[in-house]
Amino acid sequence: MPHPTSPPLTERDAQFCLDAATRTLERWAIAVSRGEKETLLALYAEDAILVPTVANDVREDRLARQAYFDAFLANEDLSCELGEFSRRVSRKLGTVVIGGHYVFSYLIKGDMTTIPARFLFTFEEIAGEWKITGHHSSQLV
């Protein structure tokens, strides 16, 4: 039930939010595949939380996210392929959650390595741009 002071989004508004967040997710995957660290970092809100795929610590600021992506994007021929995912939008707040699967591929000593993983991203519109506010990723076993 919606909060009485926060009218629910209309269906048109909800679809707009879902589409805008999905475009940000797609830009994220492209930036990873192209090794575009600055583009990638700019997709995150300043206070975004990153729980990365191939590291154990939580990254809570730009410097920590940058350190993770410095190492991760250094992998030779890195690519990210989005798989199936589900989306939902908070009709009260406009926060979008997208969860699903992706596969990272890269070369290690000439051999292609793949890391299938699950993800959960949260997105919010901040100053007119859809930003990643939370990102959790873990390898599939």
* Assigned domain for 5 exists: no
* Assigned domain for 1 exists: no
Please report the pLDDT score of residue 4 as a whole number: 46
Please report the pLDDT score of residue 93 as a whole number: 78
How many domains does the chain fold into?
Answer: 1
Please report the pLDDT score of residue 3 as a whole number: 41
Strand spans (E) along 36-75: 44-51
**pTM recorded for the entire structure:** 0.90
3-class secondary structure, 70: helix
In this structure, how many other beta carbons lie within 10 angstroms of the beta carbon of residue 75?
17
* Assigned domain for 97 exists: yes
* Assigned domain for 49 exists: yes
* Structural domain span for residue 132: 11-139
* Assigned domain for 6 exists: no
**Of 105, 102, 113, 101, residue with least CA distance to 79:** 105
* Assigned domain for 3 exists: no
Q: Which residues of 101-114 are buried (b: 16+ CB within 10 A; e: fewer)?
A: ebebbbeeeeeeee
Strand duo 111-126 + 96-108: pairing: antiparallel
Four-CA torsion 124, 128, 130, 135, nearest 10 degrees: -50
* Assigned domain for 123 exists: yes
In this structure, how many other beta carbons lie within 10 angstroms of the beta carbon of residue 18?
17
Four-CA torsion 53, 55, 60, 66, nearest 10 degrees: -90
The CATH number linked to 23 is 3.10.450.50
* Assigned domain for 4 exists: no
Convert the pLDDT of each residue in 8-38 to its tens digit.
Answer: 666 668 899 999 999 999 999 999 999 999 9
Per-residue pLDDT of the chain (141 residues; tens, 9 = 90+): 444 444 566 666 889 999 999 999 999 999 999 999 999 999 999 999 999 999 999 999 999 999 999 999 999 999 999 999 999 999 777 899 999 999 999 999 999 999 999 999 999 999 999 999 999 999 998
